[in-house]
C-alpha cells in the first residue's frame, strides 16, 4: 500500500509540474509512471487539467486499457504510455503534451538546433519525428509504432499533434518535455528575427549534456516546478 501511495503521489505531482510549466491544454495531455509490478501505468485520469490532478485523480491502467485501481475514466491515448514502457525497460515515466511551440516548430519540418541549453538533448542525435499519424495514438499498434520511432531516444515531436518525452523517472520525463518545448520556442524566435548563424557543435553538446543537464540539475529544475505547482 505504501508503494502504491508513493506511485500515485509521483504521478499526480508530475502532472501538476507540467501544469506549472505552462503546457496545459485544458483537460488534454498526460504523464505516467511505471507500475513496478508490471500491471501497467499510473496516469492522470481523463477530464482534468494538469494543474487539477490530485492523488484521487490518478488511475492504474493496464496494457489492455482496463482501469485496475483509482478512478477513471482513462485517457484514450493510454497506449502512448503502456507501449513505450513495454518497449523500453529503462523508461519509468512518459509524458505527452500539446505544447504550442512544439506544434509550431514540428510543422516547419526543420532540424532542431542546440541554440540554447534547452536544445542539447534533442539536437545530437536529432529528436525523432513520429509521422504515421497526427491523430490520436489510440491503439496498441500505434503505440508500438511510436515507441519504434523514439527507439532509444529521449522523446519525439508529433507533427500536427504534440510531443512525447521519456525518462527513468518522472523528474527526467517532465523536464525533457519542458526543455523540448522551450528549445522549439527559442528556435522559432530566432528564425523570426533572421537567419540562424550560431549554435552548439557536437563537442559542446556533449559537454552541456554532462555539465548543464547532470541529474542534479534535472532534479533541481523539477523541484522548482513542483514548488510552483503546490
Concatenated DSSP letters for 183-194?
HHHHHHHHHHHS
Model pTM greater than 0.95?
yes
Q: Are 154 and 166 in contact (CB under 8 A)?
A: yes
CA distance 229 to 85: 26
Residue percentage of the chain with pLDDT more than 90: 98
Domains of the chain from N-terminus onward:
2-229 (3.40.225.10)
Res 166 pLDDT > 90: yes
CA distance 5 to 10: 9
**Model confidence over 23-37: pLDDT tens digits?**
999 999 999 999 999
Amino acid at each position: 500500500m505504501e508503494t502504491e501511495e508513493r506511485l500515485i503521489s509521483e504521478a499526480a505531482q508530475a502532472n501538476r509540474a507540467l501544469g506549472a510549466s505552462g503546457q496545459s491544454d485544458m483537460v488534454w495531455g498526460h504523464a505516467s509512471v511505471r507500475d513496478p509490478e508490471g500491471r501497467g501505468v499510473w496516469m492522470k485520469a481523463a477530464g482534468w487539467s494538469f494543474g487539477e490532478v490530485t492523488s484521487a485523480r490518478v488511475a492504474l491502467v493496464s496494457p489492455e486499457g482496463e482501469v485496475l485501481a483509482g478512478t477513471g475514466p482513462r485517457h484514450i491515448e493510454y497506449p502512448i504510455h503502456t507501449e513505450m514502457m513495454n518497449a523500453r525497460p529503462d523508461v519509468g515515466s512518459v509524458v505527452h503534451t500539446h505544447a504550442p511551440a512544439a506544434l509550431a516548430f514540428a510543422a516547419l519540418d526543420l532540424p532542431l538546433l542546440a541554440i540554447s541549453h534547452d536544445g542539447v538533448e534533442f539536437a545530437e542525435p536529432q529528436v525523432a519525428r513520429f509521422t504515421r499519424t497526427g491523430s490520436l495514438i489510440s491503439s496498441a499498434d500505434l503505440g508500438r509504432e511510436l515507441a519504434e520511432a523514439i527507439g532509444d531516444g529521449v522523446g519525439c515531436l508529433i507533427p500536427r499533434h504534440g510531443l512525447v518525452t521519456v525518462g527513468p523517472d518522472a523528474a527526467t520525463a517532465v523536464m525533457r518535455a519542458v526543455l523540448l518545448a522551450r528549445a522549439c520556442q527559442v528556435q522559432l524566435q530566432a528564425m523570426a528575427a533572421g537567419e540562424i548563424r550560431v549554435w552548439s557543435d557536437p563537442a559542446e553538446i556533449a559537454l552541456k549534456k554532462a555539465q548543464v543537464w547532470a541529474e542534479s540539475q534535472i532534479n533541481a529544475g523539477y523541484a522548482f516546478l513542483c514548488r510552483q505547482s503546490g
